[in-house]
Amino acid sequence: MTALVVVGAQWGDEGKGKVVDLLTAEADEVVRFGGGANAGHTLVVGGEKVVFHLVPSAALHSRPRCLLGAGMVIDPKVLAKELEVMSARGLLPEGRMVISENAHLVLPQHFLVDGIREAGPNPIGTTKRGIGPCYQDRAARRGLRAGDLRDPDGFRAKLADNLEGWRPVIEAAGAEMPDPEAIAAEYLALAAPIVPWLGDVGDELHRAREAGRRIVLEGAQGTMLDIDHGTYPFVTSSSVTAGGACTGSGLAPTHIDAVIGISKAYTTRVGEGPFPTELHGEQGEALRRAGGEYGATTGRPRRCGWLDLPVLRHAARVNGLTSIALTKLDVLSGQETLEVCVAYELDGVRRDTPPAIGLERVKPIYETVPGWSGDITGARSLDELPAAARDYVRMIEEAVSVPVSILSVGADRAETITLGDPWA
């Protein structure tokens, strides 16, 4: 078993950072395959908290290589900062990193247009990190890529063309056109720490695989934010599911061995869009407080609600999940009973997966299950958990027909119960 994909099974922020950090102990290569600095992946090691937006969540370990795949959109300012953090900790020796020459660059015009659209009549509630407009440039075949940082003249020429492409949008909004010379000067000055790491990530991964090296493919966002399989238009602009792990990294589908889906023991969502099990008022507020549910990227309060099994079934199918990592089980402690959405009703018909269109119209069908109390963050095996917490985990496995391989009972790397082998 050499390649394991990690994806979010809900609307993002499931705890992918923590799980990838854990899996890194057994990995030789960890690659981000999509998204950009809209992601915020939190690691807590020995009480210290670190959030990464672009570099893989393996960055605090010394051993595995960290790769940024072609499917990513890279904000050079954020990347330069994260490379500095790694370097300051002595975690950036020669050969530590490979950045795909084909990954796209997020530039000021992308932030500008993201902001213009979000100020308009139908906001998505984006992270305003320029993600949508950058992927739009990629599809329009007029984007600037990381490899362009090597060639200042080429960079300037492509930038001038690119800005002309955006002129109608920017002028229609009454905004000022960005100055190409200022952008070129600022961004080419950031190239020095990035250029030495540029390479062919797909080729590197194939060689690694042939050498028997273990590869973790780290997803960002979550299945319900996928451009094709999520709650369109309230999604991000990339393929965040397991298929995207291949297109975004260059590793072939036949070379993926296992896919682990990360899910919280409840549900959260940031930004606009349907969320059938959302709790409003005091109940939602209590969950937000207990789970510390504020965005790692934007600091926005996350919308909170009960666990949604139809969403997890959808994630299991779209991603071909071989196991689940269930996180934040500790947050549910202290509730007498818990509601779990086992199915939906839509137009009088019961369904056990989300409809392709019309999620905003479904009525969740809940089952009430017993809760548990007490601090469970110290548990390191299933028998150390209250019986009701064990039953909750088993109920999820049965409902989704996928085993739980990792159970997270706290934010720290150590606060984990291993139930199975995620690589199997």
CB 294 within 8 A of CB 325: no
Q: Is 54 in the site for ligand GDP (CB under 6 A)?
A: no
**Closest to ligand GDP by CB, 283 or 377:** 377
SS percent in the chain: helix, strand, coil, step 5: 35, 20, 40
Site residues (CB under 6 A) for ligand GDP, limited to 273-312:
292, 296
Task: Convert residues 16-55 into a mask of x (bound to Mg ion by CB under 5 A) and - (unbound).
Answer: ------------------------x---------------
Dihedral sign of CA atoms 134, 136, 138, 141 in order: negative
Residue 130 bridge partners (DSSP): none
> In whole angstroms, how far apart are CA 272 and each of 111, 275, 300?
19, 9, 12
The CB-of-412 to ligand GDP minimum distance in angstroms stands at 8
Separation between Cα atoms, residue 38 and residue 56, nearest integer Å: 14
Residue 4 bridge partners (DSSP): 216, 258
Q: Is 13 in the site for ligand IMO (CB under 6 A)?
A: yes
CB 399 within 8 A of CB 312: yes
Task: Convert residues 124-143 into a mask of x (bound to ligand IMO by CB under 6 A) and - (unbound).
Answer: xxxx-x-xx-----------
The CB-of-386 to ligand IMO minimum distance in angstroms stands at 29
**Closest to ligand IMO by CB, 271 or 305:** 271
For ligand GDP, the binding residue among 275, 410, 419, 422 (CB under 6 A) is 410
161 is catalytic: no
The CB-of-285 to ligand GDP minimum distance in angstroms stands at 17
352 is catalytic: no
**Closest to ligand IMO by CB, 147 or 230:** 230
The CB-of-376 to ligand GDP minimum distance in angstroms stands at 10
Q: Is 178 exposed, middle or buried (0-12, 13-18, 19+ CB in 10 A)?
A: middle
Backbone angles phi, psi at 365, to 5 degrees: -105, 120
**Closest to Mg ion by CB, 256 or 296:** 296
The CB-of-122 to ligand GDP minimum distance in angstroms stands at 25
Separation between Cα atoms, residue 62 and residue 327, nearest integer Å: 25
For ligand GDP, the binding residue among 126, 237, 249, 327 (CB under 6 A) is 327
> In whole angstroms, how far apart are CA 114 and each of 12, 141, 166, 391?
20, 19, 12, 44
Task: Convert residues 35-74 into a mask of x (bound to ligand IMO by CB under 6 A) and - (unbound).
Answer: ---xxxx---------------------------------
* Two tokens, residue 7: 């994806």
Dihedral sign of CA atoms 398, 253, 14, 302 in order: negative
Task: Reduce the DSSP state of residue 317 to 3 states and report it.
Answer: helix
Pure H helices in 265-359:
282-291, 309-319
* Two tokens, residue 285: 């507020």
For ligand GDP, the binding residue among 4, 15, 22, 23 (CB under 6 A) is 15
Q: Which stretch binds ligand IMO (CB under 6 A): 123-131, 205-213, 328-336, 398-406?
A: 123-131
Is the backbone peptide bond immediately before 422 cis, with ω within 30 degrees of 0? no
Strand 73-74 and strand 97-100: the pairing is unpaired
**Closest to Mg ion by CB, 37 or 259:** 37
* Two tokens, residue 358: 């019309």
For ligand IMO, the binding residue among 2, 4, 12, 327 (CB under 6 A) is 12
Q: Is 264 in the site for ligand IMO (CB under 6 A)?
A: no
CB 396 within 8 A of CB 419: no
- 330: partner contacted, choices Mg ion, ligand GDP, ligand IMO, none (Cβ within 5-8 A by kind): ligand GDP
The CB-of-403 to ligand GDP minimum distance in angstroms stands at 18
Dihedral sign of CA atoms 258, 264, 266, 271 in order: negative
Q: Is 230 in the site for ligand IMO (CB under 6 A)?
A: no
- 310: partner contacted, choices ligand GDP, ligand IMO, Mg ion, none (Cβ within 5-8 A by kind): none
- 15: partner contacted, choices ligand GDP, Mg ion, ligand IMO, none (Cβ within 5-8 A by kind): ligand GDP
Question: In which element (H, E) is residue 327 found?
Answer: strand 323-327
Query: Which residues contact ligand IMO (rule: CB under 6 A)?
Result: 8, 12-13, 38-41, 124-127, 129, 131-132, 220-222, 225, 236-237, 270-271, 296
Q: What are the catalytic residues?
A: 13, 41
Q: Which residues lie near ligand GDP (CB under 6 A)?
A: 8, 12-18, 40-42, 44, 292, 296, 327-328, 330-331, 408-411
Footprint on this chain of Mg ion (rule: CB under 5 A)? 13, 40, 296
